Amino acid sequence: MVQSLASLLAIASLAVSSASAVVYSPNGGKPVIERPSIKAWPLHPGKPHAASPARDPDKYCFVKPSCKSDDDAANILKAFQTCNHGGTVVLDADYTIGSPLDLTFLDGVDVAISGTISFSGDVDYWVEHSFKYAYQVSSAFWRFGGRDVNIYGNGVGLINGNGQPWYDAFAANASLQRPILLVLDGLNGGSWFNLIANSSDIIVSDMDIKVGSTSKNPAKNTDGWDTYRSDSIVIQSSTINNGDDCVSFKPNSTNIVVQNLHCNGSHGISVGSLGQYIGEYDVVENVTVYDISMSNASDGARIKVWPGNYTPFQPGLSGGGGSGHVRNVTYDTVHNTNNDWAVELTQCYGQSNQTLCNLYPSNMTISDVVFKNMWGTTSKKYDPKVGTLVCSSPEKCLNIRAENITVTPPSGKTATWVCTNMDNSLLDISCIV
Ligand SMILES: *[C@@H]1O[C@H](CO)[C@@H](O)[C@H](O)[C@H]1NC(C)=O
Ligand SMILES: *[C@@H]1O[C@H](CO)[C@@H](O)[C@H](O)[C@H]1NC(C)=O
Ligand SMILES: *[C@@H]1O[C@H](CO)[C@@H](O)[C@H](O)[C@H]1NC(C)=O
Ligand SMILES: *[C@@H]1O[C@H](CO)[C@@H](O)[C@H](O)[C@H]1NC(C)=O
Ligand SMILES: *[C@@H]1O[C@H](CO)[C@@H](O)[C@H](O)[C@H]1NC(C)=O
Ligand SMILES: *[C@@H]1O[C@H](CO)[C@@H](O)[C@H](O)[C@H]1NC(C)=O
Ligand SMILES: *[C@@H]1O[C@H](CO)[C@@H](O)[C@H](O)[C@H]1NC(C)=O
Ligand SMILES: *[C@@H]1O[C@H](CO)[C@@H](O)[C@H](O)[C@H]1NC(C)=O
Ligand SMILES: *[C@@H]1O[C@H](CO)[C@@H](O)[C@H](O)[C@H]1NC(C)=O
Ligand SMILES: *[C@@H]1O[C@H](CO)[C@@H](O)[C@H](O)[C@H]1NC(C)=O
């Protein structure tokens, strides 16, 4: 399940704010939830994000759930058209979205979700009608873009991707194109989402994401958060229960801070995979991952890069030969519980034969990486090994450091590490070959 993308069931909840003037909804007379105040904390990615002005207290668009049809997309779209430029769209009832919703024209609008938004489970319809993206054959039910948008749920809002029919259909068709729950495409200034693409100055905070299947068919390719072609992004103070990357930094992710996350059951917090496509240049630069609790995952901290030649890996997943660089990535303060590897860095992604990997070193350079302040216990899987750092050539990995790492294997033996083509003098861990 390395291919990433597509989280189909998520529960959104944002911090509760203190109320001042109360506005009541005509959908049952409940008070409308207020925009919480969210800051990047304790770290931030460099230049501060612009403040978002308060919205017009007289400009609320309440969306009435349709009683006749099972698709509220048209009414939701109308509300955004009316309340754009300074208003607040209120979604405080139960809605179903049964057709694609393009919200990429937004400019200064708040979205208060205290109700439930569900997506219809008509797999055949969505496969035909979802928004399609070239990158990793991804697609979306709805998408948000524009500038200065705040989306909040204050601990009660819920977005239900209705993943079960997708997990079941995918078990029968492994090339089924499954939509990503939430896509921010070209949003500048705003808070939250699942795929953050073509966007800048975004803070995601206090989200609770859950993915799970209730049938025998597993929920696959369920990344918590992916960033792609995006700059100045913060993802913080959230809980993610899933089975693929908890957070992953795809090509051209820059100036990113990920902090105070609880991840369970994932593939870790991952840079990559990168270098997948020949002729493309991928950049991941200035990433700090801080204060993470990682449990039941295949990896804690992970950097995965394809080797220098085309490599078939799994059905529907192959790549390699692309170029680029990973520079200035820090993983600091990570508590490990039952993860297979505490740290996995590889430039041989998709190629388990080290001889072949060394023959075609990666066209991606990895430099200025620090793994530090990590503790806890791994799973039994590779005991007594707890981490692996594998470069395709000593010239392709520069200044990779490991400091103050006390992660132990469950057997209590001395923790060992696989270190290949690394400068071992910078690694304060016990490397075996
Ligand atoms: C499997 O899914 C793909 C992509 O969504 C689709 O093109 C193909 O027709 C499906 N195959 C079957 C047997 O339904
Ligand atoms: C991002 O922008 C590029 C270039 O405009 C576009 O091709 C792509 O569809 C956009 N969205 C995603 C998710 O890649
Ligand atoms: C990523 O950035 C590099 C360098 O700026 C550029 O050459 C490349 O086209 C970008 N890739 C994508 C997918 O946007
Ligand atoms: C954590 O993930 C495991 C599977 O790896 C699952 O069994 C468990 O229920 C999850 N914990 C929570 C709190 O959801
Ligand atoms: C490394 O990245 C962090 C943000 O993640 C940034 O604060 C720092 O200035 C960067 N350092 C260098 C030397 O670029
Ligand atoms: C990374 O951070 C450094 C130091 O702040 C900055 O000079 C550089 O431009 C940043 N890189 C990118 C790609 O933004
Ligand atoms: C890890 O998984 C075990 C068993 O699957 C579960 O009991 C435990 O709660 C999980 N840890 C977390 C932090 O969810
Ligand atoms: C790895 O590749 C080399 C070169 O092709 C080959 O000689 C060797 O048998 C391979 N090793 C394994 C374990 O497949
Ligand atoms: C990628 O790496 C291969 C093998 O090391 C090399 O032959 C090729 O020239 C490289 N391509 C680029 C664009 O650097
Ligand atoms: C080493 O990491 C531990 C967490 O495992 C932390 O409490 C301690 O302060 C760190 N020591 C140094 C010297 O940074």
Report pLDDT for 191: 63
Q: What is the DSSP letter of 383?
A: T
Question: 14 in a domain, yes or no?
Answer: yes
* 308 in contact with ligand 9, CB cutoff 6 A: yes
Please check whether residues 5 and 154 belong to one and the same domain: yes
Of 193, 222, 237, which residue constitutes the final position of a domain? 193
Question: 203 in a domain, yes or no?
Answer: no
Side-chain-facing half-sphere of 367: CA atoms under 13 Å: 10
Task: Classify residue 60 by burial, with Cβ atoms within 10 Å: 0-12, 13-18, 19+.
Answer: buried
Report pLDDT for 11: 29
Report pLDDT for 10: 29
Report pLDDT for 250: 96
Report pLDDT for 21: 73
* 185 in contact with ligand 2, CB cutoff 6 A: yes
Question: 219 in a domain, yes or no?
Answer: no
Please check whether residues 140 and 268 belong to one and the same domain: no
* DSSP element (H, E) containing 356: helix 354-359
Catalogue the active-site residues. 267
Report pLDDT for 243: 84
Question: 218 in a domain, yes or no?
Answer: no
Domain of residue 322, CATH code = 2.160.20.10
CA–centroid distance, 167 to ligand 1, in Å, is 14
Question: 168 in a domain, yes or no?
Answer: yes
Pocket test for ligand 2, best of 229, 252, 277 (most atoms within 8 A of CB): 229
Of 193, 210, 226, which residue constitutes the final position of a domain? 193
Please check whether residues 168 and 292 belong to one and the same domain: no
Please check whether residues 180 and 293 belong to one and the same domain: no
Q: Which residues of the chain have pLDDT under 50?
A: 1-19
Question: 18 in a domain, yes or no?
Answer: yes
DSSP characters over 120-135: ---HHHHHHHSEEETG
Residue nearest to atom 1 of ligand 7 (CA): 296
Please check whether residues 146 and 2 belong to one and the same domain: yes
**Is-contact 289 301, C-beta < 8 A?**
yes
Report pLDDT for 192: 62
Number of domains in the chain: 2
Diameter over CA atoms, the chain: 69
3-state secondary structure 63-121: CCCCCCCCCCHHHHHHHHHHHCCCCEEEECCEEEECCCEEEEEEEEEEEEECCEEEECC
Please check whether residues 25 and 124 belong to one and the same domain: yes
Q: Which residues pair with 61 in a beta bridge?
A: 89
Q: Give the separation between CA 197 and CA 109, rounded to whole angstroms.
A: 19
Domain that holds residue 14: 1-45+58-193
* 361 in contact with ligand 9, CB cutoff 6 A: yes
Please check whether residues 386 and 260 belong to one and the same domain: yes
Report pLDDT for 294: 98
Please check whether residues 427 and 295 belong to one and the same domain: yes
Question: 259 in a domain, yes or no?
Answer: yes
Report pLDDT for 16: 33
Please check whether residues 161 and 269 belong to one and the same domain: no
Report pLDDT for 30: 92
Question: 233 in a domain, yes or no?
Answer: no
Please check whether residues 28 and 140 belong to one and the same domain: yes
Of 193, 227, 254, which residue constitutes the final position of a domain? 193
Please check whether residues 161 and 285 belong to one and the same domain: no
Please check whether residues 254 and 181 belong to one and the same domain: no
pTM for the complete prediction? 0.92
Looking from the CA of residue 135, the nearest atom of ligand 2 is 14
Report pLDDT for 289: 98
